[in-house]
Amino acid sequence: MSKSGYPVIMRSMLFVPAHNDKLIASALRTQADVLLFDVEDSVQPINNKQVARDNILKFIGENVCEDFKIFPRVNDRESGQLLKDLYQLTVPEIDGFMYPKSYRGEDIYFVDKLLETIEYEKGIARGHFKIIPLIETTSAVVHINEICSSSPRVVAVAFGCEDYLTDLGSFNDLEGQSIFTARSLIAMAAKANGIIPIDTVHIRVHDMEDLEYNLDIAKKLGFEGMLSLHPKEIKYIHQYFSPTQQEIDDAHQMLRLAKAAEENNQGVAYMEGKFIGPPMVLQARKIIARHEIIKRRKEKQ
C-alpha cells in the first residue's frame, strides 16, 4: 500500500492498443492486474485516437473490465490530444491515467490540476483519478524524485526504456547494463516516496528465458511490477512479484519468534542462527500484507 493509502497490486500492467477490439477482447481474458488501454503511441493514425477513446468507454459500459485496474495511457501535454483524452475518459470506472513523457514534476502537477477541474465539473470525488508517470527521458530520470513527489495522485511510476535509450544515445544490451542506473534510481525514488515502482517492458516478447533474467534483476532492485506487451508474459511476472510460499512461511515464523522474544523480555530473537532485527520484522509484515492483497485479488477473479 502506498503512502496515499491506495491498496493495490500492480504486478502486471498490460498495454492494449485501445482502437483494436480484438486485442482488447484478448486482454480481458487474461489475469493481468492492470490494463493500460493505450491512446498514445500504438494508436495511429491520429483519427484512431477517437476510436480508442470510444472503445474504452464502450467496453467499460459493458461491465467487462471489473476484474482489472484500468489506467489508459493518454497523450502528452504537447500532443493536442490530452484534454480530449482526459475529459472523455474521466468516468468513475476508470482508476486513473498513465502519463507519458514526464520530463519534470511540473508535467504531473499540470495533469493533476486538469483532473481536479474535471472532477469538480463532473461531480466526481476530488482525487479519484490517480496518475502513473511514465519515465522515458533522461530529464525524467534526473528529476525522478521531483516527479514521484509532485502530486498525491501519483500511486506508481513506470520505466519506459526504449525512449529513454534513444534520448540517451545508447542501446538495449542483453545484460541490461545500459539501463541499470536508470532502473536503480527509479526504484529508489519510488520507494522513498511510498509509491509503486514498475519496471520497463520486455521487448524480446518470445524469449521467456530473457524475461526471467530481467524479472530477477527487477525484483532485486525493488520493483514490484513490470509493463507487459504480451499476455504470455503475465504468469512469469506474477511468479516473480508474488511472495513465494517459503517467503510467506518464513515471514510468519519470524513474526512469531519476534513476538515471543518481546513477551519473554528477551532483547533479541533468532531464526536459524540469524538475528531478527526491526528491519527484518518490517519486511516480514510487508510480505504478509502483499500476500493477503494478492490472495483477495485471486478470490475475486
Distance of alpha carbon 125 from its chain centroid, rounded? Answer: 23
Instruction: Check residue 150 and report its DSSP letter.
Output: S
Judge if 185 and 164 occupy the same domain. Answer: yes
Cell of 259: 513476538
> What's the mean pLDDT in 243-252?
93
Judge if 124 and 251 occupy the same domain. Answer: no
Cell of 175: 545484460
**Is the model's pLDDT at 281 over the cut of 90?**
no
What's the mean per-residue pLDDT of the chain?
92
Report d(CA 282, CA 263) in Å as an integer.
18
Which of residues 191, 207, 240 is at a domain's end? 240
pLDDT tens for 17-28 read 999 999 999 999
Q: Own/partner pairs for 207-212, CB < 8 Å, 24+ apart? A: 208/232, 208/233, 208/236, 210/174, 211/236, 212/236, 212/240
Asked whether residue 188 is domain-assigned, the answer is yes
CB 77 within 8 A of CB 106: no
Q: Give the pLDDT confidence score for residue 301 in this predicted structure.
A: 63
Burial of 267 (0-12, 13-18, 19+ CB in 10 A): exposed
Q: Which residue has the cell 534483476?
A: 217
- CATH assignment at residue 235: 3.20.20.60
Judge if 191 and 62 occupy the same domain. Answer: yes
Judge if 62 and 205 occupy the same domain. Answer: yes
Q: Give the pLDDT confidence score for residue 258 in this predicted structure.
A: 82
Query: In total, how many domains does the chain have?
Result: 2
Judge if 222 and 102 occupy the same domain. Answer: yes
CB 84 within 8 A of CB 90: no
Q: Which domain holds residue 46?
A: 12-240
pLDDT tens for 26-54 read 999 999 999 999 999 899 899 999 999 99
Q: Give the pLDDT confidence score for residue 6 in this predicted structure.
A: 53
